[in-house]
Amino acid sequence: MDTSVKANEEREKKWAKIAKVGEGTYAVVYKAKEITTGRQVAIKKIKIGQFKDGLDMSAIREVTYLRELHHPNVIELLDVFSHKTNLNLVLEFLDADLELLIKDRSNVFLPADIKSWMAMTLRGLEFCHRNWILHRDLKPNNLLIASDGQLKLADFGLARDFSDPGARMTCQIITRWYRPAELLFGCRYYSSAVDIWSVGCIFAELMLRTPYLPGESDMDQVKTIFRAIGTPTEEEWPGHTKLPDYFAAGQFPRQPFRDLFTAASADALNLLAKFFIYDPRKRISAKEALNHPYFFALPYPTHPSKLPKSANQLAPRPLPLEELDGNTNGALSAKAAEPNKLKRKSAEAPDGPDRRVVSRRLDFTAV
């Protein structure tokens, strides 16, 4: 009988792997196609046999949330099947990410292009937040670009739902340069505002073409933020000095955004400042941001199909390869310096005595 085993086999038969494009300790990514339509897809094979505690948390999170989220600006999980001790995720095939585009110096970004990417990022994020899901790892590297120019939020390996007010959560989330001050101060009760800060960092990076707040350590990250945006006052952000990991990082005056973002419009600067409001309760929401005058002012956002594309799309990272965290491929050498070694904790467990730390890394040295 075993209907579910049969159903699983049938699902597996729908897809044909074409070529291996990346291999790491925990996952292998294949370029594949749907047999009936020829549609290109990516299959991420997670080797579960290696995890002591069975199905690992990143895989569980990714499957749990992507199974529910269907939106043009969120990567689509087309199918899931298991094969022996492997879990296979069939994902939309996306051939570039925003980081690649930002780093490609041959591209010129018009203000309208940046507006288009921002709109798509916020639409995807607003949809996640509306569904009570926090992404918790937004950065250009996780914003993938489809061949038609659509931007899609990817890598939900750190995502979680936040429908339970007062639930204690881990603060070890979001790649450092995109992490808000409240998390750096050890805040355990937070909300969608953490993702918004990351969006602010991405917005700034799109304008500057280089990371806006590249701290060298968690301590230095706080300093970097304060140096750029000014040390928060008690009035601006009531109670922040009482946060568990608070430390006095020094007094820095606020640098007017206009001094650094010289080409930005007044609307853009106004929105940027709202992403970087220290008090998470006052920070703008994704929905409010989408209604901000910036998006209604000229120039209108570029149509996705007309957006700049990266010349070396397929070269270093041909797939929506979330595991690329910390990869050391020569073609992305600039990236190696990025603090991408975010640990994927199966934390937040009140019970388990030995919490497992899984950092999923793909090693491209074999390629």
Partner 1 sequence: MVHEKSLYEASSQYRHWRFSPAQLKTTREKLNAGAIQVISAAFETENPGSSSTVQFVTQQEELSLVKLYASKLPQLCFSSFKLPEHVCATAVTYLKRFYLRNSVMDWHPKNVMLTSLFMAAKTNNTPISIDYFLSIIPKTVQSDILELEFPIAQSLDFEFAIWHPHRALWGIYLDVQVLEDVPMDLDRIYSEAVKLIRDSWLTDAEFIYTPSQIALAALHAVSPPLALQWMRSKGGSEQLQAILLQIQKIIKEEGTVPDVEEVRDIDRRLRTCRNPAKVAGSAIYQQKKAEEERIADEKRKLKAAAAKKAFEEADPFGADLRRESSNGSTPPGK
Asked if residue 336 binds partner 1 (CB under 8 A), the reply is no
45 is in an annotated binding site: yes
| Closer by beta carbon to partner 1, 39 or else 282 | 39
Q: Report whether 74 belongs to an annotated binding site.
A: no
Order of strands, edge to edge, in the sheet holding 27-34?
A: 77-83, 86-92, 40-47, 27-34, 15-24, 362-363
The yes or no reply on residue 357 touching partner 1 (CB under 8 A) is no
Query: For partner 1, which residue of 39, 67, 258, 282 counts as binding (CB under 8 A)?
Result: 67
The count of C-alpha atoms lying within 13 angstroms of the C-alpha of 171, restricted to the half-sphere facing its C-beta, is: 17
Instruction: Give me the helices (H) in 135-240, please.
Output: 181-184, 193-208, 218-229
Stretch that binds partner 1, among 81-89, 140-148, 185-193, 233-241 (CB under 8 A): 81-89
Amino acid identity, residue 140? P
Amino acid at position 22, single letter = G
24 backbone dihedrals φ, ψ, rounded to 5°: -140, -165
Which one among 3, 37, 251, 262 touches partner 1, defined by CB under 8 A?
3
∠ CA 222-339-290, nearest 5°, is 70
The smaller minimum CB distance to partner 1, of residues 269 and 347, is found at: 347
End-to-end, the C-alpha distance of the chain in Å comes to: 43
What ranges make up the beta strands (E) of 75-208? Answer: 77-83, 86-92, 96-97, 133-134, 143-145, 151-153, 160-161
Q: Which is nearer to partner 1, 224 or 346 (CB)?
A: 346
Structure tokens at 188: 């355990």
Q: How far apart (Å, rounded) are the C-alpha atoms in residues 97 and 152?
A: 9
The correct pick among 57, 173, 193, 243 for binding partner 1 (CB under 8 A) is 57
Asked if residue 350 has a cis previous peptide bond (ω within 30° of 0), the answer is no
Is 26 a known ligand-binding residue? yes
Binding to partner 1 by residue 82, rule CB under 8 A? Answer: yes
Residues written for the chain: 367
Q: Which of 311, 336, 337, 357 binds partner 1 (CB under 8 A)?
A: 311
* Catalytic residue chosen out of the listed positions 56, 113, 137, 155: 137
DSSP secondary structure letter of residue 186: T
Task: State which of residues 13, 70, 258, 341 lies at the interface with partner 1 (CB under 8 A).
Answer: 70
Residue with token string 């006095």: 248
Which residues in the 5-24 window bind partner 1 by CB under 8 A?
5, 7-8, 19-21
Residue 146 or 271: the one with the smaller Cβ distance to partner 1 is 146
The verdict on whether 97 is a catalytic residue reads: no
| DSSP type of residue 62 | H
104: contact with partner 1 by CB under 8 A:
no
- What the block records as the tokens of 311 is 């010349």
- Six token digits for residue 81: 């099947």
Binding mask 156-195 for partner 1 (x = CB under 8 A): ----xx-xx----x--------------------------
Instruction: Based on the shown chain and the rule CB under 8 A, indicate whether residue 313 belongs to the binding site for partner 1.
Output: yes
Nearest-approach distance from CB 318 to partner 1, in angstroms? 6
Interacting span for partner 1 (CB under 8 A) from 135-143, 241-249, 272-280, 308-316: 308-316
Dist CA 231 CA 249 (whole Å): 8
In angstroms, the CA 88 to CA 79 distance is: 8
Which residues are near partner 1 by CB under 8 A?
Answer: 1-5, 7-8, 19-21, 31, 48, 52-55, 57, 60, 63-65, 67-68, 70, 80-82, 85, 87, 130-131, 160-161, 163-164, 169, 311-316, 318, 330-331, 346, 348-356, 366-367
Q: Which residues are annotated as a binding site for ATP?
A: 21-29, 44-45
- Give catalytic residues, as residue numbers: 137
